[in-house]
Amino acid sequence: MFLRVGENPVIPRKPGTFHSMHAANPDILEFGGRIMMYFRGQGDELHDQIGVAWADPGDFNGINWKFYPKNPVIKVGTEQGCFDSRHILDPGSVIIDGKVFLYYSGHSEEHPAAVCLAVSEDGFSFEKWGGGAIVEKAIAPEVLVKDGAVHLFYQRKTNGRFEFFCARGTDGFNFDIENEIRVFQASGIPGTFDEFSVSTCRIWQEDDEYFMIYGGGDRFDDYPVALGLARSMDLCNWKRYPGNPVLWRGEEGEWDEGGLWFGTVYRHGGTRYLWYEGAGAGLGTATEEARAASEICRNRDYGGYARFNFSQIGLAVHEGGMPVW
């Protein structure tokens, strides 16, 4: 359904930047007359942190971005006992009361991973919420406002595999975690791409319908082989697209041969742009060494990650209307 563009990856890892090791987790937000992309980067310091790039709507093509010179804009914490002293990743942004509320996964040595929050008035300068974690023992947030309520999605691990949950709130800071609901899980159907686990849901709205892109794994909890599509009218009940998956990982030897995550969709004109995190060695298959690296990337859980398997941001597009099912 979605077709890769010819200039991938559109945001590669780049020496001398905060994303020299990995570039990942694209999140799109219209704010302040710009199309903002928040994304995760890891550099030589080996901490995941969040930066921002932007494009002007008039010359937007999904490929060319202006990078904020003071990246990263959300850095790992230095306070004792904080939830994000090791890594900050998985941005999910929304506008509340004219401000950017950016939820993220916080990782530290002291606590289990948690969903945390930073707020900005201009989209560039962020202040972390001082109340600690928003949701404990959860990662990969996505957020939407519907009918005056803030719907916060995240994933938790149940019986060794990830599932998606949703909690609601009204102010963006406080959510009814005790009454969270499970909204999506692995198909459990043998032979399907999402048989074992699902990860990194990303949601967008068209008219009165909602669509979700999610990563699906057939044997690992967080190493998806493809991206799937689902739809909902109420954000709670989701129906899978019967033509799933909508984007498979790349072929052997390609830069995204290993896993796909974080499929973020933005509609501009008649085109739906899907940015995603892809990981792989990208060494081709001409040599024995390259083939061995590809085999590890494709068949082991995060095989060779951060050694010869690296995350970068790719782009695929879909022209025309959405399918009906």
pLDDT at 121: 98
Segment 73-126, tens digit of pLDDT = 999 999 988 999 999 999 999 999 999 999 999 999 999 999 999 999 999 999
Domain spanning 7-319, CATH architecture: 5 Propeller (2.115)
Please tell me whether the overall predicted TM-score, pTM, comes out greater than 0.95 for this model.
yes
Q: Record the tokens describing residue 304, joined without a space.
A: 């060779």
Residue 62 phi/psi, 5° resolution? 85, -15
Residue 182 CA to residue 63 CA, distance in Å, equals 35
CB 31 within 8 A of CB 95: yes
Which segment of 91-95, 133-137, 271-275, 319-323 scores lowest on mean pLDDT?
Answer: 319-323
pLDDT cut 70: percent of the chain above it: 100
Question: Distance from CA of residue 242 to its chain's centroid?
Answer: 23
- The torsion defined by the Cα of 17, 20, 23 and 29, in degrees rounded to 10, comes to 0
pLDDT at 132 over 90: no
Segment 147-196, tens digit of pLDDT = 999 999 999 999 899 999 999 999 999 999 999 999 999 999 999 999 99
Segment 194-218, tens digit of pLDDT = 999 999 999 999 999 999 999 999 9
pLDDT band with cut points at 50, 70 and 90 for residue 131: confident
Strands 310-319 and 3-4: antiparallel
Segment 222-255, tens digit of pLDDT = 999 999 999 999 999 999 999 999 999 999 999 9
Give the start-to-end residue ranges of the domains of the chain: 7-319
Q: What is the mean pLDDT of residues 9-17?
A: 97
Q: DSSP class of residue 159?
A: T
